[in-house]
Amino acid sequence: MFLASGVVLVLEILGVRLLAPYVGLTLETTTSIIGVVLAAIAAGSALGGRAADRFDPRLLLTVLLAGGGVLALFTAPLVRLLGEQDVGAVVVAAVALVPPAAVLSAVTPTVARLQLRDLERSGTVVGRLSAWATAGALAGTFGAGFVLVPLLSVTASLLIAGGLLIVTGLAFGAYARTIGVGEAAAVVLLAAGAVAALLAVSSPCEVESDYHCATVTADPARAAGRVLTLDDLRHSYVDLADPRHLEFEYVRWIADSVEALRPGPLDAVFVGGGGFTLPRWLLVERPGSRAHVLEVDGDVTALARRRLGLRTSRSLSVTTGDARVTLRRVPSSSADVVVGDAFGAEAVPWHLATAEWMKDVRRVLRPGGLYALNVIDRGPLSLFRAQAATLLREFGDVRAVALPGPSGPNLVLLASERPLPRTVGSTARGARTFDRRGVRRLAGDEEPLRDDDAPADQLLTAG
């Protein structure tokens, strides 16, 4: 029970890593995974109890443990095959995670059937078994979050979890004499097939970090061009030969806005590193500048060093950690520019979009400093309007740059405590710009985001 319950929670956490490259790391993704696993636990418990009353519980326990192990090995191949079909997070999670979670959840009522011999002690027995199952779930949660995901690939983690279940099932079957040599051989052959499928369907990730599935690919149209993809989002473009080359439209808009500030070296804080495109552009374009990057994912920084030519120095420094925490260590009035380009899937992490966060950004900026925020939104632009409303509340001057596109507009918000130079945001090529009045009209009656109420994912998908 301890092992079975633990593996169910391991599968739930690994499911987030498995689905993220195909459907993104959003509230919808995690909700889908948690929901289908809970449904599987309920179904497995109910059906397992019925089966335990009809069949020999010892034989059933052997089948459940070994079968659950085989099904656990199949989760990654199923996600990787279905993920390419664009069928949605709920469908992928249900097909891949419900079978093993349901089978393993049937272990608890089966063990209860074996243990309940005296009705006068039924409460004690059920309570003890429930405690063991919960302890296993806790061990699986902490083991996955603090050991498996940080140290091992998803494939290796599944091999360990599935292997433990299969070995335990076969060992129990031999001990209880419910399985013979032929049956054991069949289980081993089935497990070998599952392992082969797991290894054959390769992971789309070059690096599986605590936060992202990261890959770097070459641009066939530009010899030195490299694209960094985090989960399912093209995050950064780097030209290894020319740091002045800015491929993405929004990056050029932010660069144009920075150029409109006072001449000479600038001190800048970048929230989100990714490919470190803008920090490197700044150091070349404004010699003597200093760029301080706050990047949550140390593995992405390591990948940028290895594949994207990143070289850190006194001029370009990196602090690893969540920006909500690390920005507090940045001295007040120390930056001319703060650039917000941190994303979880397509949304700015909600705690980096609230009025409380903006206050800390404003603290770091010097008088007249620029805060440039990249926003991805679509449909009725509910998230963009909420972020605009938040900036209008915290900054004296707010502007916006937008370019309509087939998959939704590209959007950048620009803000300062003091009136910005007229040229800030006005030179963006092919884009429409909005002054403070225009931004206020865009924001409409949208409420500012606060730590107490910041539904970034819901606003992103609204409409």
Q: pLDDT tens digits for 193-223?
A: 999 998 888 778 888 888 888 999 999 999 9
Give the model's pLDDT for residue 432. Answer: 82
Task: Report whether 231 contacts 345 (CB < 8 A).
Answer: yes
Give the model's pLDDT for residue 41. Answer: 96
pTM: 0.78
Helix axes 249-259, 277-285, angle to 10 degrees: 30
CATH hierarchy code of domain 2-204: 1.20.1250
- List, in sequence order, every residue forming a beta bridge with 375; answer none if it has no partner: 411
DSSP state of 146: I
Q: Where are the domains of the chain?
A: 2-204, 213-461
Which SS3 state, helix, strand or coil, does residue 199 take? helix
Tens-digit pLDDT profile for residues 399-450: 998 876 545 567 899 999 998 877 776 666 667 888 899 999 999 999 999 9
Helix axes 2-23, 122-143, angle to 10 degrees: 40
Which CATH architecture fits 213-461?
3-Layer(aba) Sandwich (3.40)
Give the lowest-confidence range in 3-7, 123-127, 195-199, 272-276.
123-127
Query: Using CA atoms, how far apart are residues 61 and 1, in angstroms rounded to an integer?
Result: 10
Query: Using CA atoms, how far apart are residues 160 and 142, in angstroms rounded to an integer?
Result: 16
The per-residue pLDDT of the chain, averaged, comes to: 90
Residue with tokens 């700044």: 282
Confidence of residue 23 (pLDDT cuts 50, 70, 90): confident
Residue with tokens 């079909």: 85
Confidence of residue 344 (pLDDT cuts 50, 70, 90): low
Closest to 238 in 3D by CA, of 247, 251, 250, 249: 247
235-238-242 Cα angle (round to 5):
160
CB within 8 Å of 325: residues ≥ 6 apart? none
- What token pair was written down for 61? 């326990």
Query: Using CA atoms, how far apart are residues 404 and 43, in angstroms rounded to an integer?
Result: 47
Task: Report whether 366 contacts 418 (CB < 8 A).
Answer: no
Query: Using CA atoms, how far apart are residues 248 and 237, in angstroms rounded to an integer?
Result: 7
Which amino acid belongs to residue 33? I
Tens-digit pLDDT profile for residues 169-185: 999 999 999 989 999 99
